[in-house]
Amino acid sequence: MTGELEHKFEVGILEREGRQKLPQEIKDELKSSGMMDEKGKLKLKGVSPKMLKRMKQEYVECPVLEDQIHFIQCFVCPNFQSRVMGKVLCKGDKI
């Protein structure tokens, strides 16, 4: 065992200028799982406010959904393994 996480894809993290809007269904999912309060403020454990601000401007080309998605949507996905040096390790399972 090499200690590496099992993943199918290494997805590059891309950046946009300004804030991106999260789709409503993702917001609802975050609220129901306790990662967002009723006012829409994200509460991700272990993520600093500075990192959260940066994450809000990032997106990935999701190989599972075959679409550009907000990094925060990727971060809370069951396929998300880890974020390493500008890349996301993704399990690649169907959702």
The predicted-structure confidence for 12-71, as pLDDT tens digits, reads as follows 999 998 778 888 988 998 999 899 998 988 888 888 989 998 999 999 999 999 999 999
**What tokens appear for 65 in the block?**
């959904």
Radius of gyration of the chain (CA): 13
Rounded distance between C-alpha atoms, residue 57 and residue 80, angstroms:
18
pLDDT at 60: 96
pTM: 0.85
